[in-house]
A and B are shown apart, each in its own frame.
Chain A
């Protein structure tokens, strides 16, 4: 059974700092990995999707990497801003008949002005 772990559970940084969020998964046989952002009381917004054949994806100040063999992904946020404060969720698509995404429990990021 696929398990996804996100470390740390919470992170507080000053504005302008570069930071890395970590995601690990137990079964390396994945199709893709997706990073989401969730604001308090809101739904999930997709940030980046990395296919299993890719090593990284970039969108603006965000860069996500994937090392399938070691079961790890990182989300790098450059020059953090208070508006980046949210919970960041990692989800792994292991394929199969139900196309299930297995989610981590998230990292709560606070960027202080």
Chain B
């Protein structure tokens, strides 16, 4: 069982380009999340999905979009990347969106926007 996989591992991207970060989980978890981690700011929630077919905005959603077509996949898209989106991006999942469940994290994607 792989848990959560993210791709790519790292990417250097020119400003203005479109980029999709991929996230796949094999735990059949209903809820999935995208966070970004920045030095001095910690981890912040970008978007979340309580179950397939639904998505919601987190703390810092601007410039990002997500979709949840099925249970396993939760891609994050930067429509037109800007340098302030340089960050480490973590995908996470939990069994349900209930408040008692542990969130499990993927290995991260290191993104640099120039």
Q: Which A positions have Cβ atoms within 8 angstroms of B? A: 31-32, 34, 36, 42-46, 49, 51, 89, 91, 93, 95, 97-101, 103-106
Q: In this assembly, does B64 line the interface, its C-beta being within 8 Å of a C-beta of chain A?
A: no
When distances are taken between beta carbons in the complex, the residues of chain B under 8 Å from A91 are 43, 103
Q: Is chain A's interface secondary structure helix, strand, loop, or mixed overall?
A: strand
Which of B11-19, B66-74, B78-86, B94-102 touches A?
Answer: B94-102
Whether A98 contacts B106 in the complex (CB less than 8 A), given A31-B100, A44-B90, A93-B99, comes out as no
Classify chain B's interface size: 20 to 34
Q: How far is the CA of A89 from the CA of B42 in the complex (A)?
A: 9
Q: How far is the CA of A14 from the CA of B12 in the complex (A)?
A: 39
User: A51 to B100, Cβ gap below 8 A?
Assistant: yes
Q: In this assembly, does B45 line the interface, its C-beta being within 8 Å of a C-beta of chain A?
A: yes
Whether A95 contacts B58 in the complex (CB less than 8 A), given A43-B105, A43-B107, A100-B45, comes out as no
When distances are taken between beta carbons in the complex, the residues of chain B under 8 Å from A93 are 99
Most chain A Cβ neighbours within 10 Å, of B40, B50, B99: B99
Q: Pick the contact of B43 from A32, A95, A103 — CB < 8 Å?
A: A103
Q: How far is the CA of A100 from the CA of B99 in the complex (A)?
A: 9
When distances are taken between beta carbons in the complex, the residues of chain B under 8 Å from A99 are 31, 48, 50, 97-99
